[in-house]
Amino acid sequence: MTPLDQLLLLSALTVVVPLFTGNRRITGPLATLLYTGQGLLLLRMAGLGYGSETPVSSAVSLQVLGLELHWRFDALSWFFALITIGAGLLSSWFASGEWAQRYRDSGSSLRLFHAALALNVFTMLVLLASGELLSLFIGWELVSWASFLMMSLGSNTALRYAMRYVTYAFAGAMAVLMGLVLVYTRTGSFEFQAFRDAVPSMDADTVWLLFGLFAAGFGVKMALLPFHLWQAKAYAETPGPGAAFLGAISSRMGLFAMIVVLVQIIGVARLVELPVPFTFLSGRDLLAWVAVFTIIFPTFTALRQHDARRLLAWHGIGQGGYMLLGILIADDLGSAGGLMHVFNHATYQAVLFMSVTAVIHRTGTSDLNKLGGLVARMPLSFLAMLIGIIGLAGLPPMNGFVSKWLVYRALILEGSPLLFLGAVIGTLGTILSVYKLIHNTFLGQLRLEHVDIEEAPSSMLWPMMILSTVVFVTGYFPGLVLDWIASVQAAVGLPVLAHHLGGVHIDKGGLDMIWVVSVLLAGFGVGALVFLSGNRSKRVHQLDNYAGGHFLTADTRYQYSDNFYPGLMHLIGPWYRKSFRWLEGGFVSTVDTVSQLMQGLYRHTHPAFYLLAVVVFALSWVMGGD
C-alpha cells in the first residue's frame, strides 16, 4: 500500500464515519481529526511538494474494456491536495461547535453535511490523483456530483442554482468526454504520454476542436465566461462552512484539469500557434481574453451585490481569471503567479466566507444593508475579514499581493499591455467592492438589534485566526509557497521560477516581501507611535452622537449603507450581466421551442403517416443505389 493509497483510504473513511456517528456532537471533531490525519499523510509525501521525488503511484489499477485506469500523485496534485485538505480541515473545524448545533436545530442533517464535505474532499483527491484521461474524467464527474450534493443541502434557491450547475457541469463533462474519446480514437490510448506524443502530428483543426472542447468543459467548472451564471448563487446559498470550502477550492479543480490538459499535454506553445480565423489572435490569446473578461465582469457584478456571500462568490469567479491568465503566460513568473494565486485565493476566500458566516451566525443575516458597526462587537471577526479583504484586493502585506504582482509583472514583461490593463481594472473593482463589504458589515453605525451580540464562538474563531495567520505569513515570506510552486512548475514542464524566501529576484526589478512588509510594519509602528503620543482620544458610545445640532436617538439612521457607489453603478449598471442572462435565456427558449416542436411531432393525428413516409424515404435511399 503506497502512501497515496493510505491517503485515499483515510479520505474514504472520512466519508463513512459521519454516516455512522450521525447527528451527534462528536461528528464534527471526529471529522476534523480525520482531516488532520489526511493532512499528515499528505505531508509524508512532502517530497513531492518540494520536487525531490518521482510521482507516488497508487497500487490500485483497473483494466476495464481493455482500458487501463491508474492513479498517481505528482507535485501538481500534491499542491492542490494540500489546499483541498487544508480547506476541508478548517471548514470541518469551523462546522464543529456552535454552528453545528444551530444547523442541527434548524432541522438539517449534520450527518449529510459532514459526509458531503468529506465526499467532496475524497472525490477531489481522486481527481487530483488521476493518472490518465479516463480516470481524470471519472474524477471530474465525481467532483461535479459531489459538489452538487453539497450545494443541494442549502435552501430552495440553492437547489435551483445547483440544478443550473448540474446542467452546465454535465454539458461541460460531455464536451470533455467527447474530447477525450476523440483523443482515444487518434492515439488508441488514454495515457497522458500518448496524447502528448500525438499532439505534434495533429492538424490545426483537430487541435482547435480538442482545445475548444476541453477549455469549454473545464471552463464550466471554473465559471469562465460565458458559463459563469451558475456559480455565485449556488456557492452562496450552500451552508456556511460548505461555502467556504467550495469557494476556496472547488472551482479550482477546473483549473487543475486545464493545467493538465492544456499546459502539461497540449502545451501552451501549441496554443500560441493556433490562429483564430480573421484575426491576429492566437488560441492562447483568445483564452487569455476570456480570462480577463472573467476577471472584469463578475468583479463588477460583485460590486452590485448586497448580500455578503454572493459578493464573495462573484469575486471567487473573478479571481479564477487571474489564475488562468497567469498560467497562460506560461513563463516562470506568470505561471508561478497563477499557481500561487490558487493557494492564496483559497486562504483568504475561506477566511472571508468564514467571517461572513460568523456574522450570519450571530446576526442571522448577510444582507449588507442590514448590518454595520459590528467591529465593536466582533473585533476578531473584523480582523479576519480585514486580513482577508486585503488579500483579496491584492494589497501588501498579504499574500494576494504577491501572486497578483507576479501576474502583472509577467504580463508587462511579455508585452501584453491590454491584458494588463484589463487585470488592473478588475483589481480596481475588487478594491471598491471589498471596501463595501467590510464597511457595511463592520464599520459605521451599529444597528439597534445588534447591540447585544457577542464575538463569534471559538470553534469559528480558531480556523479564522489560523487562516489569517497563513494569509499574512505567506505574504511576508512568499518563498514558503514558491518552493512548492517551483516543483509544480518542474512537474508540469514549465520554466521554473528562481526565488528566495522573500520573493523573486529578476533583472527588471524583483520583489522582496520581507523588505516590503518590514517597511510597512515599520511605517505602521511609526504611525502608532504618533497616534499614541498625540492627545488621548475620548471614548464615546457609538450612539452618543449628534448631527445638525440635534442629538440622535438610537433608532435614527445617520449612516446608510445601501445604494453604494451610485455614480459608478449608474455608469456601468445597464449594460452588463443582462447580456449573459439574455444569452442563456435565449438558448433555453430555443430548446423549449424545439422541444415543443418535437412533442408536436409525436402528437400526429395519424401515426401511420410516418410509417409510410419512412418506408418511402428509406426505400428510395436503398434502392437508389441500383
Partner 1 sequence: MQRFTSALFLLGLGVLIAAIFRNMDLAASTPIVGDAINAAAAQQVGAANFVTSVVLGYRGFDTLMELTILFTAATAGGLVLGKPRGDARPDPEAGLVLRAGADLFFPLLLVVGLYIILHGHLTPGGGFQGGVILAVAFFLPLLARPGTPMSHRAVSLIEGLAGASFIVIGLLAMPEGQAFLTPLLDKGQLGSLLSAGSLPLLYIAVGLKVGSELAGLLAQLAATEASD
Partner 2 sequence: MNELVLMVALPLLTAFLLPVIDRLSSLAARWIGPLVLLLTAIIGLSAWSQTGSGAITIELGNFRPPLGIDLYVDQLALLFALAVTLGTLLLWPAEGEQRLRQSTLALLLAGSGSGLALSGDLFNIYVLYELIAVVSYGLAASRGTAAGQAATLRYLIVSAFGAALALAGIALVYQATGTLNLAQLAQLAPTQLNNGQGLAAFVLMLVGFGVKAELFPVNTWVPEVYATAPARVAGLLAGVVSKLALLIIVRLLILLFPQPEALTVMLVLGILGVLTGELAAWRARDFNRMLAFSSIGQLGIMFIAFSIPGKAGVFAGLAVALHHLVVKPALFLLAQRWGGSLEHLAGVAKGSPLAAALFILLALSLIGVPPLPGFWAKLLVMIHLLEQQSSLYALGAWIIMAGAALEANYLFRVASSFYRREAAATPPAAHRTGDLAGASLLGAALAAAVFLIVPLADRIEAMAGQAADRDHYIQTVNPEPLP
Partner 3 sequence: MDTIIILYTGAFGLIFIGIAGIVLSRHLVRIIFAIGLLEAGANLLLLLATWRDGASAPIIVGGRVPALMADPVPQALVLTAIVIGVGILALALSLALRVQHAWGTLDMRAIRLRLEEEIDDAAGIEPPTSADAPAPRPTAPATREGGA
Where on the chain is the footprint of partner 3 (CB under 8 A)?
A: 589, 592-593, 596, 603-606, 608-609, 612
Residue number with CB closer to partner 2 (417 or 585):
585
The span of 25-33, 142-150, 493-501, 617-625 binding partner 1 (CB under 8 A) equals 617-625
Site for partner 2 in 593-622 (CB under 8 A): 594-599, 601-604, 607-608, 610-611, 613-615, 618-619, 621-622
**H or E element that contains 82:** helix 75-94
Alpha carbon dihedral 457, 459, 464, 469, in 10-degree steps, equals: 120
Write the single-letter amino acid at 541.
H
Residue 532 sits in the site that holds partner 2 (CB under 8 A): no
Applying CB under 8 A, among 16, 60, 182, 432 the residue interacting with partner 2 is 182
Residue number with CB closer to partner 2 (96 or 187):
187
Q: At what angle do helices 283-304 and 417-442 cross, to 10 degrees?
A: 20
Rounded to whole angstroms, how far apart are CA atoms 218 and 590? 25
**H or E element that contains 64:** strand 56-64
Residue 625 sits in the site that holds partner 1 (CB under 8 A): no
Residue number with CB closer to partner 2 (539 or 603):
603
Q: How many residues sit close enough to partner 2 to count as binding (CB under 8 A)?
A: 54
Q: How far is CA 400 from CA 77, 91, 389, 513, 572, in A?
A: 22, 21, 9, 12, 26
Rounded to whole angstroms, how far apart are CA atoms 46 and 37? 14
Alpha carbon dihedral 295, 296, 299, 304, in 10-degree steps, equals: -160
Applying CB under 8 A, among 391, 605, 607, 625 the residue interacting with partner 1 is 605
Q: How far is the CB of 601 from partner 1 (least distance, A)?
A: 13
Residue 626 sits in the site that holds partner 2 (CB under 8 A): yes
Contact map string, positions 367 to 406, toward partner 1, x by CB under 8 A: ----------------------------------------
Rounded to whole angstroms, how far apart are CA atoms 495 and 267? 12
Residue 613 sits in the site that holds partner 1 (CB under 8 A): yes
Residue 272 sits in the site that holds partner 2 (CB under 8 A): no
Applying CB under 8 A, among 34, 166, 296, 311 the residue interacting with partner 2 is 166
| Number of Cβ within a 10 Å radius of residue 8 | 21
Residue number with CB closer to partner 1 (541 or 606):
606
Residue 46 sits in the site that holds partner 1 (CB under 8 A): no
CA angle 438, 463, 146 (to 5 degrees): 95
Alpha carbon dihedral 338, 341, 342, 348, in 10-degree steps, equals: -170
Q: How far is the CB of 61 from partner 2 (least distance, A)?
A: 11
Contact map string, positions 562 to 601, toward partner 1, x by CB under 8 A: ----------------------------------------
Task: Measure CA of the first residue to CA of the last residue in the chain; give whole Å.
Answer: 65
Say which entry of partner 2, partner 3, partner 1, none residue 59 contacts (CB below 5 to 8 A, set by partner kind).
none
Residues β-bridged to residue 67: 64
| Number of Cβ within a 10 Å radius of residue 622 | 9
Q: How far is the CB of 17 from partner 1 (least distance, A)?
A: 55
Residue number with CB closer to partner 1 (530 or 623):
623
Applying CB under 8 A, among 40, 43, 171, 526 the residue interacting with partner 2 is 171
Q: How far is the CB of 162 from partner 3 (least distance, A)?
A: 22
Spatial contact of 347 and 468, defined as CB atoms under 8 Å apart: no
Q: How far is CA 300 from CA 230, 268, 338, 432, in A?
A: 17, 29, 21, 9
Rounded to whole angstroms, how far apart are CA atoms 538 and 373? 18
Contact map string, positions 125 to 164, toward partner 2, x by CB under 8 A: ------------xx--xx--x------x--xx--xx-xx-
Per this entry, what is the length of the chain? Answer: 626
Residue 43 sits in the site that holds partner 1 (CB under 8 A): no
Spatial contact of 596 and 590, defined as CB atoms under 8 Å apart: no
Sheet holding 511-512, edge to edge: 499-500, 503-504, 511-512
For residue 369 the three cell numbers come to 444593508
Rounded to whole angstroms, how far apart are CA atoms 42 and 47? 10
Residue number with CB closer to partner 2 (522 or 591):
591
For residue 98 the three cell numbers come to 456552535
Residue 533 sits in the site that holds partner 1 (CB under 8 A): no
Q: How far is the CB of 580 from partner 1 (least distance, A)?
A: 41
Residue number with CB closer to partner 3 (52 or 590):
590
Q: How far is the CB of 585 from partner 3 (least distance, A)?
A: 13
Residue carrying the nine cell digits 454535465: 170
Site for partner 2 in 537-596 (CB under 8 A): 591-592, 594-596
Applying CB under 8 A, among 52, 54, 167, 193 the residue interacting with partner 2 is 167
Spatial contact of 402 and 511, defined as CB atoms under 8 Å apart: yes
Q: How far is CA 298 from CA 292, 316, 317, 599, in A?
A: 10, 9, 6, 38
Q: How far is the CB of 599 from partner 1 (least distance, A)?
A: 18
Residue 19 sits in the site that holds partner 1 (CB under 8 A): no
Q: How far is the CB of 364 from partner 2 (least distance, A)?
A: 18
Say which entry of partner 1, partner 3, partner 2, none residue 563 contacts (CB below 5 to 8 A, set by partner kind).
none
Say which entry of partner 1, partner 3, partner 2, none residue 589 contacts (CB below 5 to 8 A, set by partner kind).
partner 3
Residue carrying the nine cell digits 463569534: 456
Residue number with CB closer to partner 2 (533 or 599):
599
Q: How far is CA 68 from CA 122, 133, 222, in A?
A: 21, 10, 28
Rounded to whole angstroms, how far apart are CA atoms 399 and 440? 24
Residue 61 sits in the site that holds partner 2 (CB under 8 A): no
Applying CB under 8 A, among 63, 280, 606, 625 the residue interacting with partner 1 is 606
| Number of Cβ within a 10 Å radius of residue 272 | 14
Rounded to whole angstroms, how far apart are CA atoms 438 and 378? 12
Of 299, 554, 508, which is closest to residue 405 (Cα–Cα)? 508
Say which entry of partner 2, partner 1, partner 3, none residue 106 contacts (CB below 5 to 8 A, set by partner kind).
none
Binding site residues, partner 2, CB under 8 A = 62-65, 137-138, 141-142, 145, 152, 155-156, 159-160, 162-163, 166-167, 170-171, 174-175, 177-178, 181-182, 184-185, 591-592, 594-599, 601-604, 607-608, 610-611, 613-615, 618-619, 621-623, 625-626
Binding site residues, partner 1, CB under 8 A = 605-606, 609, 612-613, 615-616, 619-620, 623, 626
